[in-house]
Copies of this chain bind each other. A is one copy, B any other.
């Protein structure tokens, strides 16, 4: 959580000259987003977020991310709406970075969502899945089974983090890749639908943010990412009441097929493995000069071990 690239008031003034969003009143770097530099911008016309895309976001993916937010917002999903420059561009250059201005969403992320919050968020996820239909661009999931294998090969010495981690990764990877479904209902997924990325105003959804992992994949895999990130307690136990709330609210908007239900335990393992792999890699390759503290991979090792013992979607709250 940091600001990597500085933007001075003078940079901001040059930038705002390209837009029709008024004169700046406030401008603050915000400690949000691991990948990019984000700034809260208030003008006399409204509140916005300026994002500078740092090296971890591929330039070729930006039209997908920005176009998707536009597409979803036009279909009623409460997500940041990219603001166009006077000459119709979504992307601009600031201090050598690609950058975009999006509308600011009111709301606060919850650390400990209760079952009702989980349900409300799951309904929003299902609506997002439906609203993505018809979006013209596509983006493969770089962090799908193939990406996991590449990532796993670049991880050395995982047992430094926790004894047995190397074996857990190898075993789970082999299983997930072999058992991964060939075909399931899919489309545009958020792929990072964590509590951090869902804003609440009191008990209602204020909006969904951070679409920088969005891609085309199975909808039920996105649901598995959500179950992984919303339904475990701090002590590592799975809260089935939250699981029930998530699955029921999701199905109220988009019912799951028998094929999706059958393979949910595999998807849950794959989702846990995906975050275990990236966190393990980031932990082992952490640049101490970086302004971000890596997240603890052991949280997802624990979740993965839990999933490896699950045999039916009922155990998740179906």
Query: With A3-B31, A291-B2 known to touch, is A25 a contact of B110 (CB < 8 Å)?
Result: no
Residues of B within 8 A of A27 (CB): 108
Question: Which one of B9, B28, B42, B111 contacts A31 once the chains associate, using CB atoms below 8 Å?
Answer: B28
Interface residues of A in 1-43 (CB under 8 A from B): 1-3, 8-10, 12, 23-32, 40, 42
**Alpha-carbon distance between A111 and B14 when the two chains are bound, in angstroms:** 13
A170 touches B (CB below 8 Å): no
Question: Which one of B32, B42, B109, B291 contacts A106 once the chains associate, using CB atoms below 8 Å?
Answer: B42
Residues of B within 8 A of A111 (CB): 8-10
Q: Closest approach, in angstroms, between the C-beta of A109 and any C-beta of chain B?
A: 7
Taking residues whose C-beta sits less than 8 angstroms from the other chain, chain A's interface range is 20 to 34
A interface residues, Cβ below 8 angstroms from B: 1-3, 8-10, 12, 23-32, 40, 42, 104, 106-112, 200-202, 288-289, 291, 293
The 6 closest A-B pairs by CB, nearest first: A29-B31, A8-B111, A288-B288, A3-B31, A28-B30, A27-B108
A/B interface sample: 10 pairs, CB < 8 A: A1-B29, A2-B2, A12-B108, A26-B107, A26-B108, A28-B30, A28-B40, A40-B40, A42-B106, A291-B293
